[in-house]
């Protein structure tokens, strides 16, 4: 039997354990993220945090002249910490940005492939958020990508969240990119959904993580 325990901005998934185990479970909720990010979710010895880059100057400082914010692309830095004695595998392809904006239909955005992200950033244009990793409808993928595109692609690769195995007692971080079509105000109603993590080698599945991004927007 499981219950969801909400403490501040953290969410705990606790088993109904003996008293000592319950106190340990509740104590994890008070942890901050490994990077001190205010948006985080913690349970079962794992912490996932998120930091959305919603400021043009900050985005430019991190990525250079051609940067995600100007292209309407959200650069979302994600941190993962494993405080357990076992490795944790993360299915990066199942991660989604969930948008529940009042008056709008609920949306589930996949992270952009790095080629797609580089295309959008190199040549910004008016597009709608999409739910797949294919090129946007009506947008042609460039046949000839020059040196500037290659440099941009390399810069995105260097910062991207790419490791799908989190060793015991370790931390990793990196960026995911989402096309939000300049609707950065929608992030007040957004969460990062991470549904598929497993302990290795047992393959025991962790409960899903849902990181509310609103707290990060207030910092």
pTM confidence score: 0.78
Q: Which residues of 176-196 are buried (b: 16+ CB within 10 A; e: fewer)?
A: bbbbbbbbbebbebbbbbbee
147-154 own/partner pairs: CB under 8 Å, 24+ apart = 148/66, 148/122, 149/118, 149/119, 149/122, 152/64, 152/66, 152/118, 152/121, 152/122, 153/114, 153/115, 153/118
C-alpha span between 112 and 47 (Å, rounded): 23
Cα dihedral: 13, 15, 19, 21 (round 10): -70
Note whether 108 and 133 are within 8 A (CB): no
| Bridge partners (DSSP) listed for residue 47 | 42, 81
Distance CA 135, CA 112 (A): 9
Rg (C-alpha) for the chain, rounded Å, is 18
Residues of the chain with pLDDT under 50: 1-32, 126-143
Q: Name every residue whose Cβ is closer than 8 Å to that of residue 109 and which is 6 or more positions away in sequence.
A: 96, 97, 98, 99, 129, 130, 131, 178, 179, 180
- Please report the pLDDT score of residue 219 as a whole number: 58
Alpha helices in 86-190 (DSSP H): 114-122, 147-159
- Cis preceding linkage at 5, omega within 30: no
* Structure confidence at residue 38 (pLDDT): 81
């Amino acid at each position: 039997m499981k219950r969801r325990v909400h403490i501040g901005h953290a969410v705990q998934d606790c088993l109904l354990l003996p008293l000592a185990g319950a106190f340990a479970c509740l104590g994890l909720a008070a942890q901050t993220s490994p990077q001190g990010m205010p948006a985080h979710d913690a349970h079962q010895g794992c912490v996932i945090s998120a930091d959305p880059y919603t400021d043009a100057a900050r985005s430019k400082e991190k990525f250079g002249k051609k940067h995600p914010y100007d292209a309407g692309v959200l650069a979302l830095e994600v941190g993962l910490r494993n405080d357990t004695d076992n490795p944790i595998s993360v299915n990066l392809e199942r991660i989604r940005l969930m948008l529940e904006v009042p008056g709008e239909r609920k949306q589930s955005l996949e992270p952009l492939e790095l080629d797609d992200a580089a295309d959008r950033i190199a040549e910004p244009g008016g597009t709608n958020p999409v739910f797949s990793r294919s090129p946007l409808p009506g947008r042609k993928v460039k046949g000839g990508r020059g040196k500037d595109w290659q440099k941009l692609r390399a810069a995105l690769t260097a910062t991207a969240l790419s490791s799908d195995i989190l060793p015991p007692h370790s931390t990793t971080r990196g960026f995911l990119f989402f096309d939000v079509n300049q609707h950065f105000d929608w992030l007040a109603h957004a969460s990062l959904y991470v549904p598929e993590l497993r302990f290795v080698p047992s393959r025991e599945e962790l409960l899903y993580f849902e990181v509310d991004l609103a707290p990060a927007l207030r910092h």
